[in-house]
Structure 1
Amino acid sequence: MRTYDFTPLWRSTIGFDRLFDLLDETQRAVEDHYPPYNIERLGEDRYQISLALAGFSPDELAITAEANVLTVEGRKTDKDAREYLYQGISARPFKRQFNLADYVQVTNASFDNGLLRIELVREIPEAMKPRRIAIGVAPVETIVQQKAA
């Protein structure tokens, strides 16, 4: 994979720090595919993340949303020493992070049949939404002509 030098962009842009940090982070990250997940768009400003967490229970999971990053962590608390002939269901600890856009908030999380579903909504504040500005008409001054004496 290629690596890109963002230095020229740093010199000529203002306020895009987070975007360049995300791009830089994706170049360095080693992709771990556990646990498998889906990201769905449910509507114009509604999303859902589904994680397949077979073998985990809700009390073994932690969801944290902080500074535009959603973190899902899981750690098995099963202390029973079991002897597996074959272990195909992974029970290893994990930490999965999702970078969220501005104004995206977690609204709900549910765990059902081994699937953790996290619902997200993007709520843009009224002050940030586009608004229509009325155009007023300036008063027209009337010029009175006076006759020369």
Structure 2
Amino acid sequence: MLINFTDPMFSNRVLGFETLVDRLERISNESQSGYPPYNIFKDGLKFKIEIALAGIEKKDVDIELCDGVLSIKHDGPKEDNSAEEALHKGIAKRAFKLKFTLAEDLEVLGAAIKNGLLTVNLERVVPDHKKPRVIEVK
């Protein structure tokens, strides 16, 4: 079933969810390739995104968090002025841009590259007013 978020019937009946609707529209309009491959892990309230970046240095990767969207980008290889001739190129270093839409309560803790894997660590931060609490009956 395809949902048309611009339909007046839909937008008139759903109030206060404008940012959610904007995010859903953005997700439905994005197409992502399978490059570079990545894993997503969850352990309790912690999340980890691993992205395979063989041969790409940390200075060549841009990570940005804007309006709930985590973007990870590489502009591709710089011009190679060496006299070496490549007989076979099996390691892709091409440009890419990955986007991950994050929930409002997810915080990015940091990122690091080690052994060709970029790891981005996230954690769900539950505000005190959303944590379970015991209500005393009087």
Range class of TM-score, shorter chain: 0.7 to 0.9
- Count of aligned positions: 134
1:1-49 Cα shifts (integer Å, max 9, x gaps): x64323233221112223322332333222311111111112x211100
1:35-81 Cα shifts (integer Å, max 9, x gaps): 11111112x21110000111101111122223211111123454323
- In the TM superposition, what is the alpha-carbon distance from 1:123 to its structure 2 partner? 0.7
Structure with larger RCO (C-alpha < 8 A, sep 6+): 2
1:85-123 Cα shifts (integer Å, max 9, x gaps): 332221222211111001101113121111101111001
Q: Does 1:5 align with 2:7?
A: no
Equivalent residue, structure 1, for 2:79: 79
Whether the aligned pair in 2 keeps the contact of 1:36 and 1:52 (CA below 8 Å) is yes
Whether the aligned pair in 2 keeps the contact of 1:3 and 1:27 (CA below 8 Å) is no
- In the TM superposition, what is the alpha-carbon distance from 1:84 to its structure 2 partner? 2.3
Following the alignment from structure 2 to structure 1, what is the Cα–Cα distance between the partners of residues 21 and 36? 27
Following the alignment from structure 1 to structure 2, what is the Cα–Cα distance between the partners of residues 30 and 67? 19
Following the alignment from structure 1 to structure 2, what is the Cα–Cα distance between the partners of residues 128 and 100? 18
Equivalent residue, structure 2, for 1:16: 17
User: Structure 2 stretches of 5 or more lacking a match?
Assistant: none
Following the alignment from structure 2 to structure 1, what is the Cα–Cα distance between the partners of residues 90 and 114? 21
- Cα separation, partners in 2 of 1:103 and 1:27, compared to 1, 3 Å: closer
Whether the aligned pair in 2 keeps the contact of 1:65 and 1:71 (CA below 8 Å) is yes
Selected match of 2:103 from 83, 101, 104:
101
Percent of pairs identical after alignment? 33
| Greater gyration radius | 1
Whether the aligned pair in 1 keeps the contact of 2:77 and 2:95 (CA below 8 Å) is no
Cα RMSD for the two superposed structures: 2.0
